[in-house]
């Protein structure tokens, strides 16, 4: 049976659970965690700021990240018909029109929420919203590029939320230490984003999406992903030593070694073990983010 992907192929309203699946709550964790790292790294949190923090977490996760997932599914409805026909749009549970409307409404809502958190938060959110549409939507559709697409996602998932969390607490632009830590972890997260492409190699090739696994092959793409994950963390170890944080530097070094052990197993069979590494190796990576956030408290105030 063919899948009708016309914009108006369904007139009934989608079920709430289908809409929830569309915005992929499991993907909210990275930006929420990065925002929390930004809050911690600012070093000025008090219990009276709880409402501000909760609003920021809502902005980073359900609203902006959820919006990006809805937009991506709408733009990818033809690809998903090949790779993931059970997704809400190709399966017919959510119409393309409903998904597009949801993406637009959530974009506007995100900008309105960001405005209440200050000028720097609003500016970062504008970049995130623009990035989400540029990644998925034509004519830019950066996801077709296996290098710049994952880099954009990593920036929006890790770097911008970290910056946003710190800016929300400080009421100003974060200082050099915070920006550098956020940027390094965003660069490393590019490798994490490449892991997601291993599950859709054939579909990406068929649709002309130049993901690294599709273009370079699984083995080369896996080595590139691991290298990109490790190098920024190694740089951060050096910076933490320079900043007088030897315990944090040693902790991050130990986390790098743990990742390296898991990477060796992943590299042996990258297609079969990409999801496995995401489940076991990535949590070690993000644990280092919070270690770093605590270590640089008080250093990043402009």
For the ranges 8-12, 134-138, 142-146, 250-254, which has the lowest average pLDDT?
Answer: 8-12
Does the reported pTM lie above 0.85?
A: yes
pLDDT digit string, tens, across residues 227-284: 999 999 999 999 999 999 999 999 999 999 999 999 999 999 998 999 999 999 999 9
- Reported confidence tier of residue 3, pLDDT bands at 50, 70, 90: very low
The residue written with tokens 């290098």 in the block is 147
Q: Indicate whether 140 pLDDT > 70.
A: yes
Q: What pLDDT, on a 0 to 100 scale, did the predictor assign at position 6?
A: 44
User: Region 281-291: what's the mean pLDDT?
Assistant: 96
pLDDT digit string, tens, across residues 78-134: 878 877 888 999 999 999 999 999 999 999 999 999 999 999 999 999 999 999 999
DSSP string, 33-94: HHHHHHHHHH----GGGHHHHHHHHHIIIIIIIHHHHHHHHHHTHHHHHHH-TTSTTTTTSS
Preceding peptide of 139 cis, ω within 30°: yes
Domain residue spans in the chain? 16-295
Average pLDDT, the chain: 90
Q: What pLDDT, on a 0 to 100 scale, did the predictor assign at position 9?
A: 43
| Residues 221, 204 contacting (CB under 8 angstroms) | no
**Largest CA-CA distance found in the chain, in angstroms, rounded:** 63
pLDDT digit string, tens, across residues 32-51: 999 999 999 999 888 889 99
């Amino acid at each position: 049976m063919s899948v009708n992907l016309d914009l108006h192929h369904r007139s009934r309203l989608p079920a709430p659970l289908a809409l929830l699946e569309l915005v992929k709550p499991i993907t909210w964790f990275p930006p929420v965690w990065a925002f929390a790292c930004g809050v911690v790294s600012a070093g000025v949190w008090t219990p009276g700021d709880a409402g501000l923090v909760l609003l920021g977490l809502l902005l980073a996760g359900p609203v902006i990240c959820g919006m990006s997932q809805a937009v991506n599914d709408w733009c990818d409805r033809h690809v998903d018909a090949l790779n993931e026909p059970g997704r809400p749009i190709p399966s017919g549970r959510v119409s393309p029109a409903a998904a597009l409307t949801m993406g637009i409404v959530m974009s506007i809502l995100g900008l309105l929420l960001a405005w209440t958190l200050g000028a720097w938060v609003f500016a970062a959110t504008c970049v995130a919203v623009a990035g989400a549409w540029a990644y998925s939507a034509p004519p830019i559709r950066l996801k077709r590029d296996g290098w710049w697409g994952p880099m954009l996602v990593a920036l929006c998932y890790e770097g911008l939320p970290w910056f946003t969390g710190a800016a929300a607490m400080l009421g100003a632009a974060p200082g050099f230490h915070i920006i550098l830590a956020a940027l390094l972890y965003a660069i490393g997260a590019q490798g994490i984003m490449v892991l997601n492409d291993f599950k859709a190699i054939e579909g990406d090739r068929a649709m002309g999406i130049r993901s690294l696994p599709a273009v370079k092959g699984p083995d080369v793409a896996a080595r590139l992903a691991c290298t990109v994950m490790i190098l920024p963390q190694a740089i951060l170890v050096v910076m933490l030593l320079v900043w007088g944080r030897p315990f944090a530097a040693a902790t991050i070094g130990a986390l790098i070694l743990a990742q390296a052990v898991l990477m060796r197993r992943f590299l042996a069979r990258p297609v079969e073990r990409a999801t496995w590494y995401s489940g076991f190796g990535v949590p070690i990576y993000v644990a280092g983010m919070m270690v770093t956030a605590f270590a640089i408290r008080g250093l990043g105030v402009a």
